[in-house]
Structure 1
Amino acid sequence: MRWRWVLTWLLCAALTVGLIIVWNVRPKDIGDAASVVAAVIGLFSVLTVWAWRRSPRHGRSTSGQVAEAAQVLARQVRRQWQDEAVLRQLFDPAPLPVLWSDCPLPDVSDHRQLIGAPVTCRADAPQELAAAFRSLPRRRLVVLGPAGSGKTTLAVLLTLALLGQRDPDDPVPVLLSLASFDPSRDSVQAWLRRQIAADYAVLADIDTYGPSAIEDLLAEGRVLPVLEALDERPEAGRAAVLTALNDTLDPHTPLVLTCRTANYTTAVTEAGVLTGAAVIAPSPVRPDDALTLLRLATPPGPRQTRWDALAEHMNQNPDGTAAQALASPLMVALARAVYADAPGDPTELADTDRFLTLAMVEHHLLDSLVPTLYARAHRRDPSGRRWSPQQAHRYLIHLAAGMQRQDTYNLSWWQLHRWVPTLAHTWSRPAAWTTLLIALTLLGYEAHGAIPGFPPRERGVMVWYMQGMTAALPCMCWFAAWAAVRPRLSTHRFSGAVLTALCGGAAFAVPGMTFNPVDVAPGWYVVGCEAVTGFAFLLVLYTAGLPVPPSMPSRGSITLWRWHHRLPRAVAIFCGTTVLTAAALYIYALVVRPMPGASKVHSSQRTELPWAYGLTLGAVVGVVQILFYWLRGTTTAHDLTAPASAVRADRLVTLVCGGAGVLLVALPYGILAALGNVTPQGQVTGDVVRELAAMLLGVGPTGLVLALAACSWPHYTAARLSLAARGRLPWRLQAFLADAHRLGILRQVGPVYQFRHARLQQRLAAQTRIPGPRPATARPGSPSSEPTSS
């Protein structure tokens, strides 16, 4: 908020000083003083109200809104993880009966007086899970275990158990991955707010739940964070996460944390234990329990006898590789997919000559998983399969290798551009957008000349404009990339848009002064470029965002859901934006000469812009702002965040942004083209409509490209097509990922996909090496560490 007020004062002060200088130089124009001062005051007033209106933290949510947000969050979390549990077959036929009890390791849990009596529970007893957690004095729990021991499964089962027995005043368990948490950049509360808003976008609806619903839910203890996979953080950052949890959260805040035993032990030696938390670890799966589950998952018939043969071998060799493998929930799940759900023969695991070590059994099951699942799906529906098992396996290998190279376990579709060097680097991405802009501008220029009745093309104006835009667009992209990593600028949308627009307007003026000397003083030429081109840039940048790949995709939909809550603010947006735009153009018309190429007005006469034109342009801009306010802020309580729905939502925002960008850049230039045909008596000559249509073809591509560069979907689409053309990904990537998710190869966590098991990702990635850009530093969720549990 402070940045908006400061910029508002600075802009208006600079404008007022500049006008005073003009009056001193040209005292004959003192008659216009009253109009200019009135316009400045009006502009300041609208900017002030507008900055106040756009402050995301103005006001607080009511208690009723917070209570309603908690109920909606509980319903969404329950739907999300019930669907995921079905796909992971956690209840089919029943959860694996893994026994969890107090961890025997010393110095990993807090004092017994703080954590209460020892904890014992079974994963296949939901009521027992919930009761064991509620019996903890502070309701804080750390779940430890080796890789593949079922920690994630327990977290999902505990989340569903708590939701199934939840009273209205109980906190809502929310399962989140710690892979994206960096304590050096975010506080725990800020990260939780951002993750909840990303995974459950409906809570960001200010009109329904108020501006502080998520913040109030966290502050009032209405959210129970279930933080998964501390071991997915880089080794150096695990202790920092524990320190942040202890230092910034109230010791009585309910919390669940999962981590591999070795990683947690190391982190505790540096940061200390999690305050007030009991620590549990699993017992190995009993052979009888594993075989019972595998038999129940196998259809009745002759295939059941194969499990009998394996059971006999395990009884005779209790320390053999087969018995050791099936003591892990991960291996039991893999054995089910390879043998129980498919016509495989589990007796091959008894071949001690083939499987000399436990690692060899694990590699065999991991290597068999993908071909087995796709072959089974192909047998069930051979005509409806888009990809053969061989194709699917190859694509998954490339996906896993790409994720390994990016040091992440999360397949975030909006980050796919990092896999393509041209789109990944800050210096090359602006070049690609500038090339597209030149191509579209030349195409529009040629179309302009081919349409009968359009004003004649002026080659000099076209060259001047393209030179300016060729300088302005890269400068704005580079500045936006710089601003995106500055917390104060990246969190203030208005500040970033103003500074980026000023940078673009100044860069636009440089080629005109260098290669095409104009008959205007250089200082005033820069002012003119800022007032018109910079103002057009500002309209697009504030509407679409900065021209840099966003950190999260856009959400929203066009719906009339709760329209009566949105209508008053939409009317205020329209009125304020209309007056603001009209005032800005009116000031320009009073103090700046017409743009180069327009017909000249006598220097002793000042060209005034008829208010009708400014108000018309302002009305169009106001309608665009209403549309984006309605579009971005509307997500119903029935919308679950998923990768495919996130892509569709961002694509809708992108298309609307692109169309709005064309209008927001073309209309100011069309108004100025009309100014060149204004007589001293204030009458407009020429066909204004055709002038505006010509501007849509000539300068409209600038707004289109600028808007596209600010959205996730164009970057994702360019990267997807580039990788698909090289055979590394399928052309229909989201359909392929959804299919792999249905088959159980991938799992879905909010808007991202992950491989079903971290070991599966690592095993697939080891089968190929894909050249591509590597990050300079390890990102959260670095797979350079050992794999996480299933």
Structure 2
Amino acid sequence: MKRSRTRRVAVTYAALQIATAALALWLTKQFQVARMSATLIALAPTLPGAYLTWAAYHNDRREAAADTDAKATMLAAAVAPAETRQRAQLIGPGAHRIDVAFHYRTEPANNATGAAPEGRLTNVVAYYRNLRPARLVITGEPGGGKTLLALDLLLGLLTHNARTAADPVPVRLSVAGWDTDRPLPEWLADQIHQQFRDRGLTAADAGMLVDQHRILPVLDGLDEMDTDTTPAARRRAVAALQQLNAYQHPTGSAPVILTCRTTQYEQLAALDMRMREAAHIQIAPVPPAQAAAYLTARSTRPTRWSPVIDTLNTAPGGALAKALSTPWRLNLAATAYEERHPDTLGYLRDPADLLTLPSPHAVRDHLLALYLPAATSQHPTRPGRYPPHQTHRWLAALATHLATTDPASPGSGTDLVLHQLWPMAGAHRVRTTDALLICPLALAFPALYLATTPVDFSLRMFLGTALTAWPLAAVWQASRATVRTPHTVHLHRLRSPTHLRRLARDLGFGLTLGLALGLVVELVAGLVIAVAVGLALWLKDVLTEPLSCDAAPTDPRYPVRDDLAVGLASVLAVGLAIGLLSGLANGLTVGLAIGSMGLIVGVPLGLYVFSGAGRRYVVLLCCSRGRLPWRLGAFLHWAYEAGLLRISGMAYQFRHRELQDWLAAQARLR
């Protein structure tokens, strides 16, 4: 009832706003001396209408959240297929998993109860369900299988027979992108909304799920929040653990799953910083028997691996056994030595070559050098699109960029976000180019106005001169180091009654602006501006929404693509509105001419006003010719499909940090 009454009052005041707007126009024409005063007096009754329209919209947003169980069920249905694809990407061809073992490590205090001394990947779900509270820390060596174990646990919890509708939904998030100045619940809600809003999950829904503890955070990569040289007092991982320890629900510490490399977690533990009320498990190295079974399963001719398997069994403490003691290294070896000649289908390499390498580091570097061309040639759909040497050069440039960014910035050391890569081409160079591209157009507006307007000291001259300065704001925006977050398109909102009401609100704002501009221009021009501004705001606010940098669309290329589409669509709407209204007032020919000029001038300016991320991405490509491919997004997605990269939210990441560091080191040696 309250919501209905609010709507009726809002509609009444909206009608009053239109009436007083017409009165304002009449007053500005009748009283030449007191135009501004008459306009302000006439527009005063419109303020309650604007406020109640805003209040009605926010009431609708609050009441639009559906019941918790339905939203949690929908979220679980969205998480399962996405993480199944991610696990398949990590496992590689054939879906051969290594049943890694893990051991429970007792902390000096604040351990969870119910933890068994040891467990395996195949029974990790049962292991976790016995913990009280349900807080788990997974550590292991680089490439030891931490992420894969967390993925198996997540998927097992979603598909477990004992799961109920009331169980929290596990959602995996890259903790490296967390700005720890933000409270954990706020960050969780924002990330979940960004990842699953294409499934209809609103910000209010995500906040409700987090507030009611219907989310089980699976936080991957605590070790990637800082570098080894970051002072202890400035480590984001310390702040993250402090917030995790304060994360509570009504019965005590809230459930959390956290992964971290063993060395980094021990460094934090030495500072008496660890996750409290949790069970700490550490993944054990892969024993020779399991390594042999994996290599045999991945090979189409297992006898080729006999010398390697014999060495693993006879020298379990040797260089080869140490090097091949993690799932990541075993996957590298299988990928590199299963590569075949494209014409003869003969094997290009003999696994026995591994026996000649003197140390685990030599084995690692050897496998990493072979992995990139092998993964490229075994690309499932387009193996020959990018030559291996070119792929290596471009990926090394990207890895070097990640290695030289500020480690205190969230996600800076791991995330390849398209619209945030622009410093690669030179920060000052890109910003200067971005600003210079708009300067001629921005300066043309005030020059044209001043050249065609008689010089006097009237109010019209003063306001008109001030308004011509607004394109200069686009130059300032283009020269900034901060890039606005991209927008994404939601065409289904055109059918939403809520967002149709937003159209009325935005047109009302545009009408108010048009009335103010009526002091400078004629009535028809003011109406043209009113409708054009209202449509542009509506397209920007209704069809699009800002995405955060840790967002997770289906394809990380979509944000910049949609951001450019937003700018073009907004300008098109403005051009059509200008042309239509001008045609109604002055005839078809004049309308077409004015509308065409509006599009010609407005397209580049609109990209600066409505599109920030997409435009900066295009400037990056123009300024980095030769160092990066022209279609950078297409290349990164191709590398993801080849198994060289992975997707985390709105970012691409290297398949493994070891690969990223090796590529950066190779680039420095050249």
Q: TM-score, normalised by structure 1?
A: 0.69
Distance 1:77 1:196 in 2: 10
For residues 7-59 of structure 1, the C-alpha deviation after alignment (integer angstroms, 9 at most, x for no partner) is xxxxx9xxxxxx9xx99xx99846996665223332x2454245446759962
In the TM superposition, what are the counterparts of 1:494-533 in structure 2 within 5 Å?
518-520=455-457, 525-530=461-466
- In the alignment, what sits opposite 1:478? none
Q: CA deviation at 1:213?
A: 0.6
Q: CA deviation at 1:529?
A: 4.2
> Letter of the aligned partner of 1:700 in structure 2?
G
Q: CA deviation at 1:89?
A: 2.4
Q: CA deviation at 1:215?
A: 0.6
Distance 1:280 1:132 in 2: 11
- 1:281 aligns to what SS in structure 2? strand
Equivalent pair of 2:433/2:619 in contact (CA under 8 Å) = no
CA shift in 2, pair 1:162/1:386, >3 Å: same
For residues 383-422 of structure 1, the C-alpha deviation after alignment (integer angstroms, 9 at most, x for no partner) is x72222222222222222222223511111121212222x
- In the alignment, what sits opposite 1:445? none
In the TM superposition, what are the counterparts of 1:757-776 in structure 2 within 5 Å?
757-769=656-668
- 1:585 aligns to what SS in structure 2? helix
Q: Which of 416, 419, 423 matches 1:418?
A: 423
Q: CA deviation at 1:176?
A: 0.7
CA shift in 2, pair 1:306/1:194, >3 Å: same
- In the alignment, what sits opposite 1:195? 191
In the TM superposition, what are the counterparts of 1:609-688 in structure 2 within 5 Å?
609=523, 614-632=526-544, 641-660=554-573
> Letter of the aligned partner of 1:144 in structure 2?
T
- 1:115 aligns to what SS in structure 2? coil
- In the alignment, what sits opposite 2:204? 212
Equivalent pair of 1:414/1:716 in contact (CA under 8 Å) = yes
Q: CA deviation at 1:527?
A: 3.9
- In the alignment, what sits opposite 2:390? 391
Equivalent pair of 1:298/1:341 in contact (CA under 8 Å) = no
Distance 1:770 1:533 in 2: 50
Q: Which of 350, 355, 363 matches 2:355?
A: 350
Distance 1:216 1:328 in 2: 40
- In the alignment, what sits opposite 2:643? 744
- 2:253 aligns to what SS in structure 1? coil
- 2:421 aligns to what SS in structure 1? helix
Distance 1:199 1:402 in 2: 26
> Letter of the aligned partner of 1:465 in structure 2?
P
- In the alignment, what sits opposite 1:494? none
CA shift in 2, pair 1:341/1:279, >3 Å: farther
- Percent identity over the alignment is 26
Higher RCO by CA contacts (8 Å cutoff, separation 6 or greater): 1
Residue 623 (structure 2) pairs with residue 722 (structure 1): yes
- In the alignment, what sits opposite 2:510? 581
CA shift in 2, pair 1:699/1:394, >3 Å: closer
Residue 125 (structure 2) pairs with residue 87 (structure 1): no
For residues 350-375 of structure 1, the C-alpha deviation after alignment (integer angstroms, 9 at most, x for no partner) is 22xxx222111111111111022223
Distance 1:440 1:29 in 2: 35
Equivalent pair of 1:549/1:712 in contact (CA under 8 Å) = no
Q: CA deviation at 1:254?
A: 1.0
For residues 571-596 of structure 1, the C-alpha deviation after alignment (integer angstroms, 9 at most, x for no partner) is 3223333333333333443xx455xx
In the TM superposition, what are the counterparts of 1:227-238 in structure 2 within 5 Å?
227-234=219-226, 235=230, 236-238=235-237
Equivalent pair of 1:133/1:141 in contact (CA under 8 Å) = yes
- In the alignment, what sits opposite 2:172? 175
Distance 1:310 1:593 in 2: 84
- In the alignment, what sits opposite 2:242? 243
> Letter of the aligned partner of 1:556 in structure 2?
V
CA shift in 2, pair 1:690/1:667, >3 Å: closer
Distance 2:480 2:573 in 1: 15
Q: CA deviation at 1:658?
A: 4.2
Q: Which stretch of the first structure deviates more once superposed, 85-94 or 524-533?
A: 524-533
- In the alignment, what sits opposite 1:160? 155
- In the alignment, what sits opposite 1:488? none
Q: Which of 134, 138, 143 matches 2:133?
A: 138
> Letter of the aligned partner of 2:642 in structure 1?
L
Q: CA deviation at 1:318?
A: 2.4
Q: CA deviation at 1:714?
A: 1.7
> Letter of the aligned partner of 1:197 in structure 2?
H
- 1:643 aligns to what SS in structure 2? coil
Equivalent pair of 1:102/1:279 in contact (CA under 8 Å) = yes
Q: CA deviation at 1:224?
A: 0.6
What RMSD in Å do the two structures reach over aligned CA positions? Answer: 4.1
- In the alignment, what sits opposite 2:605? 703
CA shift in 2, pair 1:663/1:119, >3 Å: farther
Q: CA deviation at 1:316?
A: 2.8
For residues 190-240 of structure 1, the C-alpha deviation after alignment (integer angstroms, 9 at most, x for no partner) is 22122222322326x5xxx55511111111111111001111011422212
For residues 493-520 of structure 1, the C-alpha deviation after alignment (integer angstroms, 9 at most, x for no partner) is xxxxxxxxxxxxxxxxxxx79xx99411
Q: CA deviation at 1:312?
A: 1.9
- In the alignment, what sits opposite 1:455? none
Distance 2:279 2:66 in 1: 33
For residues 166-203 of structure 1, the C-alpha deviation after alignment (integer angstroms, 9 at most, x for no partner) is 432211111111111122x2111222122222322326
- 1:257 aligns to what SS in structure 2? strand
Q: CA deviation at 1:142?
A: 0.3
CA shift in 2, pair 1:537/1:662, >3 Å: farther
Distance 1:686 1:60 in 2: 46
- In the alignment, what sits opposite 2:261? 260
In the TM superposition, what are the counterparts of 1:4-403 in structure 2 within 5 Å?
29=33, 36-42=40-46, 44-49=47-52, 51-52=54-55, 59-64=62-67, 66-89=68-91, 92-103=94-105, 106-107=107-108, 110-112=109-111, 114-118=112-116, 120-123=118-121, 125=122, 128-165=123-160, 166-183=163-180, 185-202=181-198, 205=200, 212-234=204-226, 235=230, 236-250=235-249, 251-270=252-271, 272-299=273-300, 301=301, 304-340=302-338, 343=347, 344-351=349-356, 355-377=357-379, 385-403=384-402
Equivalent pair of 1:297/1:336 in contact (CA under 8 Å) = yes
Aligned pair count reads 617
CA shift in 2, pair 1:694/1:716, >3 Å: closer
Q: Which stretch of the first structure deviates more once superposed, 52-61 or 165-174?
A: 52-61
- 1:763 aligns to what SS in structure 2? helix
| Contiguous gaps of at least 5 residues in structure 1 | 1-11, 13-18, 442-461, 469-511, 595-607, 675-682, 772-790
- In the alignment, what sits opposite 1:503? none
For residues 100-128 of structure 1, the C-alpha deviation after alignment (integer angstroms, 9 at most, x for no partner) is 12026x43xx434x4334353212x1xx2
- 2:170 aligns to what SS in structure 1? strand
> Letter of the aligned partner of 2:90 in structure 1?
R
- 1:111 aligns to what SS in structure 2? coil
CA shift in 2, pair 1:79/1:684, >3 Å: closer
For residues 124-182 of structure 1, the C-alpha deviation after alignment (integer angstroms, 9 at most, x for no partner) is x1xx2211111111110001112221111111111111112243221111111111112
For residues 426-452 of structure 1, the C-alpha deviation after alignment (integer angstroms, 9 at most, x for no partner) is xx66643443234557xxxxxxxxxxx
Q: TM-score, normalised by structure 2?
A: 0.80
Distance 1:134 1:730 in 2: 48
Distance 2:267 2:362 in 1: 28
